[in-house]
């Protein structure tokens, strides 16, 4: 199993550069997903295609969208909960995702108070 990891920067210039890079990557992801939804609209409005072809092409585009969303959710671009991009992040291997420190602590405290929901020590070592 992977280990818990942290991304922490103290230098304000590096933090600003990291935030700008994360913002850029987020904008690229947003543009890609938006273009794919536009492709779905084109497929729906194309009268030259039969119903089976439309369904097949829409499903292929939706799979691409789902793949992009999955990659985005697992990437260190920002916190998965609050989507904040300017904070230090913590990787939780059991969930295969990144959280900012406040969201990580909030989730850890939540599972400590509700031990029947999951084994919090396994998720938040």
Average pLDDT of the residues in 37-43: 95
| pLDDT higher than threshold 70 for residue 123 | no
Strand partners, 97: 92
At 125, the pLDDT band (50, 70, 90 cuts) reads low
Domain ranges in the chain? 5-123
At 119, the pLDDT band (50, 70, 90 cuts) reads low
Residue written as token pair 């304000």: 12
């Amino acid at each position: 199993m992977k280990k818990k990891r942290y991304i922490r920067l103290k230098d304000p210039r590096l933090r600003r550069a990291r935030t700008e890079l994360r913002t850029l990557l987020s904008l690229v992801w947003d543009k890609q997903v938006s273009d794919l939804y536009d492709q779905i609209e084109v497929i729906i409005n194309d009268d030259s295609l039969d119903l089976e072809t439309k369904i097949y092409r829409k499903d292929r585009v939706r799979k691409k969208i789902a793949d992009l969303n999955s990659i985005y959710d697992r990437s260190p671009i920002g916190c998965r909960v609050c989507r904040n991009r300017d904070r230090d992040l913590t990787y939780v291997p059991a969930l295969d995702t990144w959280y900012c420190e406040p969201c990580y602590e909030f989730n850890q405290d939540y599972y400590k108070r509700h031990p029947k929901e999951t084994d919090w020590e396994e998720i938040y070592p």
